[in-house]
Structure 1
Amino acid sequence: MQFSKDSKRAIRLAKRVLKGRRAFFEVRDLLAARGPLPAGKFRVGVYFADSDVNIYQMRQWYAPLRELSKTHPVLLIARNAAGARQLMHESGLEVAFAPKVTGLERLIVEQPLEVILYVNQNTRNFQMMRYGSRWHVFINHGESDKMYMTSNQHKAYDFAFVAGDAARARLSKALWDYDVDARTVAIGRPQTDHLAGDPPFPDDDRTVVFYAPTWEGDRPAASYGSVASHGETLVRRLLQTGRHRVVYRPHPRSGVVDPAFGAANERIIAALAEANRRDPSAHHVFDQSPQLGWQLSLPDVAICDVSAMIYDRLATGKPLMVTRPLAPEAEIDEGGYLSVCEWLSASDTETVDEVLDRVIGDNAARERLGTWSKHYFGDTTPGAPSRRFREAIEALFVRADEWKARTRS
């Protein structure tokens, strides 16, 4: 038995090594074809040390960063070959590949890089944060009430760009001696200014349900995923009604820890395909697209797990339900939106169509959504979050210029 496990582990390792080598050579060729970056061009860098398995964390920022780059050129700094390859193929932004620390050192000589943005808490972030004379800013890859959002690692950064008042209150409560007023800047959710795209189905009388569960998590306290507990039953029921259209967008890491969770995910995907085969007019969707747009803004109702997806939908002010985790260890902060949200228990999934009808028609619930949207994101008027993001960056430029002037005198 142990020999079999060791063999499988060795095979997985060999595949990762081979994938990494192929990615490295492809990135090398892409960079050679592009040529060197213009020296002194980039004042804003976005640091990403992960492989393509966590590329979803960067994808959330592509559109806001492309918009920012129109006035302030943005450079993506990749440390992993597979991650760099993905960024070069899909981000629409300039990418620097620096697998070794010596590459980072060359980069900060060639580029001003006065503001470095970080989308996650990868331990290799510290290899970039060792360089002073620049602002290191945590921007995260979502807004939620997960315990991740109050990590003491916030203190490692000069500043954190947060969504709004809810994030500030959360940090004030959780972190000792952290000056929230001085070290956080509320920018809203710039991604909501870019919820574009056309759905792959017609505009008809079907009720569109967006089901976007998270993965199973890597420990009991983070086991928020509903695919196995809720997903199969609720999708089966919605496929049976003939009046619903399911847009299913599972987390890209679904099943990486728990094979049973991954198997449930595959069965849901197969059920959607079979339903479309039986009724081609149903147009149910298994969504793997790299960008989120119409998926958040168009559906009549969304069903999300405890994750950042709740808050992406919350910013639209449209009907929303949250799955209640089965695991008693799963930590839930019910002091914020989760204290008044519309919960979906696993026992309710057999009649999920009736539950959704009630939620969609509840005007009082819609008003609550608007109130909480303002608490979490501030001004959600189209264009306002992008303006606040740009102004936050520009304010750091001013502070950088002031600091350089003081050190020269």
Structure 2
Amino acid sequence: MQLANDAKRAVRLAKRVLKGRRAYFELKEQLQQRGPLPEQRFRVGVYFADSDVNIYQMRQWYAPLQELSKRWPVLVLARNAAGARQLIAESGLDVAFVQKVTDIERLVEEQPLDVILYVNQNTRNFQMMRYGRRWHVFINHGESDKMYMTSNQHKAYDRALVAGDAARARLSRTLWDYDVERRTIAIGRPQADHLGGTPPFAPDDRTVVFYAPTWEGDRPAACYGSVATHGETLVRELIATGRHRVVYRPHPRSGVVDAAFGAANERIIEMLREANQHDPSAQHVYDTSPALGWQLSLPDVAICDISAMVYDRLATGKPLMVTRPVAPEAEVDEGGYLSVCEWLDANETGDIAAVLDRVIGDDAARERLGTWSERYFGDTSPGAPTRRFHEAIEGLLAEADAWRERQSAA
């Protein structure tokens, strides 16, 4: 058994090495065709050390960063070849491939980079954070009540751009000796200003259900994924009604840790394919598109696991259910929105159609959603989050200018 496992690991490693080499050479060709970036142009950078496996973390920010670039050009600093290649292909942003620390050194000499944004807690972030005389700012890749949101790693950054009052309260409650008022800036959810796009189906009288589960997690405390506990039954039941349309958007890391979880995900995808084949008018969707827009704003109801997806949907103020984790080890912070949310237990999925009818028709629940949306995101009126995001960046750039003036005068 051990020999078989070792052989499988060796095969996986060999595939990763081959993929990395192929990505590297393809990227080099892309960069040669593009030519060098103009020097002394970029004051705002986004640091991304991951491969394309975690590209979803950057996708959250494509539209807001493109909008910011109209005022302050943004440069993505990519450390991994596969990640850089993907970013060049789809982000719409300027990308620098800085594989080695010496590449970062050169880039820091060529570009002012007064503000560096970080979308995750990759340990290689520290290779960039060693550079002083610039602001290192954590922007995260979502807003949620997961344990990840209160990591002590927040203290490593000069500032954190957070969604709103709920995030500040969460950090104040959890972290020792962290000056939340000084080191966090509330900007809301700029992504909410970009919930566009065209759905791949013609709207009709079917109830559209957005099911967006997270992955299985890399530790027992973060075991929030519902694909294997809730997902197969609820999708099967919704398909059977003939009056629902399922938009299924699983986490891209589904099955990375737990093969059984990945198998359940594949079975759901196959269910949707067969249902569409049997009834083309059903138009169920297995959604893997890079952009996240209509998927949040259009559906009549959303079913999400404990993840940032809950709060992305919360910002729309539309009906929402949260799957209750089955794993007893899963840490659930019920002090915020999760204290009043509409929970979906695994044993309710067999009657999911009736459950959703109740949630969609609950006016009191809609009022609660509006109240909690404001607590988490502040002003969600069109354009307000983008304005606050831009004001935060411009404020940091102004502080950088002030520091230089004081140093030159000394």
TM-score (norm 1): 1.00
SS of residue in 2 equivalent to 1:245: strand
Q: Secondary structure of 2:280's partner?
A: coil
Q: How do residues 138-149 of structure 1 correspond to structure 2 at under 5 angstroms? A: 138-149=138-149
Q: Which residue of 2 aligns with 1:331?
A: 331
Q: What residue number does 2:304 align with?
A: 304
Query: Which residue of structure 1 aligns with residue 57 of structure 2?
Result: 57
Deviation of 1:159 (Å): 0.1
Q: Could you tell me how far apart the structure 2 residues matched to 1:255 and 1:304 are?
A: 17
| CA positional deviation for 1:7 | 1.3
Distance 2:5 2:149 in 1: 35
The one-character-per-residue Cα deviations of 1:312-369 (angstroms, maximum 9, x if unpaired) are: 0000000000000000110011000000000000010000000000000000000000
CA distance in 2, matches of 1:358, 1:3: 53
Query: Which runs of no fewer than 5 residues in structure 2 stay unpaired?
Result: none
The whole-number CA distance in structure 1 between the counterparts of 2:11 and 2:195 is 41
Partners of 2:228 and 2:348 in 1: CA distance: 14
CA shift at 1:112, angstroms? Answer: 0.3
Letter in 1 for 2:263: A
1:348 aligns with 2:386: no
Q: Which amino acid aligns with 1:373?
A: S
Distance 1:12 1:234 in 2: 33
Residue matched to 1:390: 390
> In structure 2, what is the Cα distance between the partners aligned to 1:370 and 1:353?
24
Aligned to 1:255: 255
Instruction: Report the alpha carbon displacement of residue 10 of structure 1 after superposing the two structures with TM.
Output: 1.0
TM-aligned CA deviation for residue 222 of structure 1: 0.5
Cα distance in 1 for partners of 2:2, 2:274 equals 39
Q: Distance in 2 between matches of 1:3 and 1:240?
A: 44
- Note the C-alpha offset of 1:232: 0.3
Structure 1 segment 67-146 matched on structure 2, within 5 A:
67-146=67-146
Give 1:7-406 correspondences, 5 Å limit.
7-406=7-406
- Structure 2 residue matching 1:303: 3-state secondary structure: strand
SS state of the match for residue 381, structure 1?
coil
Structure 2 letter corresponding to 1:294: W
Q: How big is the shift at 1:407?
A: 1.1
Q: RMSD of aligned C-alpha atoms?
A: 0.5
Distance 1:360 1:174 in 2: 34
Alpha-carbon deviation of 1:392?
0.3
2: CA distance, partners of 1:73 / 1:331 = 40
Q: Offset of 1:3 from its aligned partner?
A: 1.6
Hey, what's the Cα distance between the residues in 1 that align with 2:3 and 2:74? 49
Cα separation, 2, equivalents of 1:110 and 1:31: 17
Aligned residues: 409
The Cα offsets for residues 29-65 of structure 1, whole Å up to 9 and x where unpaired, read as 1111111110000000000000000000000000000
AA in 2 matched with 1:176: W
Gaps of 5+ in 1: none
SS in 2 for 1:281: helix
Structure 2 CA distance for aligned equivalents of residues 15 and 276 of structure 1: 34
C-alpha displacement of 1:270: 0.4
Cα displacement string for residues 232-291 of structure 1 (whole angstroms, at most 9, x for unaligned residues)? 000000000000000000000001111111110000000001111111000000000011
The Cα shift of 1:6 comes to 1.3
Give the ranges of 4+ consecutive aligned residues of structure 1 lying more than 4 Å apart after TM superposition.
Answer: none
Partners of 1:389 and 1:382 in 2: CA distance: 13
1:106 partner amino acid: R
TM-score, normalised to structure 2, is 0.99
> Counterparts of 2:92 and 2:254 in 1: how far apart (Å)?
27
